[in-house]
Amino acid sequence: MKYDKEEKDILNALEKGKMKLATPSKKEIELIKASANNTLKKNKRITIRLYDHDFLGIQKKAMEMGMPYQTLISGIIHRYIEGDIKIKTG
């Protein structure tokens, strides 16, 4: 995992004992749980148009990976949004 400068500084401070972790309150824990649940919800349906060749290709790849093609498409989109997949331009 890559860390930015601020994250590295925090990790170094924790390792050197210059910083202590605080125990979250019950209210904070509930907020964190609610946020996590909302993040993981799949609540949007979309319709996309694909070329037959692309659709067959994604179905084949999903089958090879042992998952539904919808899950593969969702995973690809998620990885793109997170910056794990780059699209070449030009």
Query: What pLDDT is stored for residue 60 in this prediction?
Result: 97
Domain shared by 29 and 64, yes or no:
no
Looking at the fold, whether 20 and 48 belong to one and the same domain comes out as no
Going through 39-89 in order, the beta strands assigned E by DSSP cover none
Residues 29 and 49 in one domain: no
| pTM for this model (two decimals) | 0.53
The pLDDT of residue 2 is 86
Q: How far apart are CA 76 and CA 8, in angstroms?
A: 29
Determine the number of helices (DSSP H) and then strands (DSSP E) in the chain. 4, 0
Number of compact structural domains in the chain = 2
**pLDDT of res. 45:** 87
Which band of pLDDT confidence, cut at 50, 70 and 90, is reported for residue 16? very high
pLDDT digits (tens, 9 = 90+) for 27-86: 999 999 988 888 777 778 899 999 999 999 999 999 999 999 999 999 999 899 999 998
Domain that holds residue 12: 5-40
Q: How far apart are CA 7 and CA 3, in angstroms?
A: 6
pLDDT of residue 79: 93
Mean pLDDT calculated for residue range 17-33: 89
Are 51 and 32 in the same domain?
A: no
